[in-house]
Amino acid sequence: MPAADATQAILDAALVEFERHGFRRVALDDVARRAGVSRTTIYRRFANRDELVAAVIERENVALFADIAAELKHAERTANYYVEAFTQSILMFRRHRVLNGMMTDEPALVLELARQHYGAAVGRMAEALREIFPAGFADRIGTAAVDDLADTILRYAAVVLLLPSAEPLDTPDALRAFARRHFVPSLPAALRAVPV
């Protein structure tokens, strides 16, 4: 099996095992068996289980951010673009069984990984924003503003996904209301002043 195919098979197998057993309880022997490779092959590509976990999450996040960008790019225009970007991000994240399961079942792991990979997550979100913004908007507000928005979306998404809420945030309308009340006012004034 070519190296790229073996890596893909390992990541695919690990994703299934993580979904079934959680990130902390997966045995690499089970991943190897499911992928049709030896345990040694896994260790040639990933130094340890934590590195494999990070690689799976990275791959799934890249795909999720691309899906979010595609969804928003083709969504019907709403009164507030920032509210819709925030709302759709939360809804799509919750539909991803493995990533959402990690948030609900293993929040300590989420925080640990966030400390290690937060810069990459901001970069992915910023790229997704550049995709979904109308033509020329990202250039008009500048790189720093796009990065600020990406950071703010991720921080508020973590609040919604990781912390309990006094009011249910289970529906699109409830998420939009939360975004209007908390998320949008937190954006830099310069960003709020520029219509999308």
The more confident residue out of 154 and 78 is 154
State the amino acid at position 155 in one-letter form: R
Give the lowest-confidence range in 5-9, 27-31, 95-99, 132-136: 132-136
Mean pLDDT of 104-123: 87
Choose among 88, 92, 33, 35: nearest CA to 60: 92
Count the Cβ atoms, other than its own, within 10 Å of residue 13: 21
Question: Which pLDDT tens digit goes with each residue over 144-158?
Answer: 989 998 899 889 999
- For residue 34, the number of C-alpha atoms closer than 13 Å in the C-beta half-sphere is 19
| pTM given for the model | 0.79
Q: How many other CB atoms sit within 10 Å of the CB of residue 129?
A: 25
Whole-angstrom Cα distance, residue 128 to residue 124? 6
Its sign, for the CA torsion 50, 56, 59, 61, is negative
